[in-house]
Amino acid sequence: MGEEIVRDLAPLGIRVRLDRVPDTQYFGALTDPSARPDMVLIAYSKDFPSGSDYFPATFSSSALVSGNGDPSLLGATPRQLHQWGYSVHSVPNVDDRIGQCQRATFSLAVSCWASLDQYLMQAVVPWVPLLAWTGSFVVSSRVRSFSFDQSVPFPAASLDRIRLATGPPAAPP
List the domain range (segments joined by +) for residue 92: 2-124
Whether residue 153 sits in one domain with residue 100? no
| 130 part of a folded domain | no
Residue 106 placed within a domain: yes
Tell me: do 87 and 141 sit in the same domain. Answer: no
Q: Are residues 112 and 143 in the same domain?
A: no
The reply to whether 161 falls in a domain is yes
Decide if 79 is inside a domain.
yes
pTM, full prediction: 0.66
For residues 54 and 47, the answer to whether their CB atoms sit within 8 Å is no
Q: Do 49 and 9 belong to one domain?
A: yes
Indicate whether 159 and 74 sit together in one domain.
Answer: no
State the 10-residue block means of pLDDT for the chain, 173 residues long. Answer: 89 88 79 72 69 87 73 88 91 96 96 95 80 72 78 65 80 70
Kindly state whether residues 109 and 164 are assigned to the same domain: no
Give the other-Cβ count within 10 Å of 48's Cβ: 10
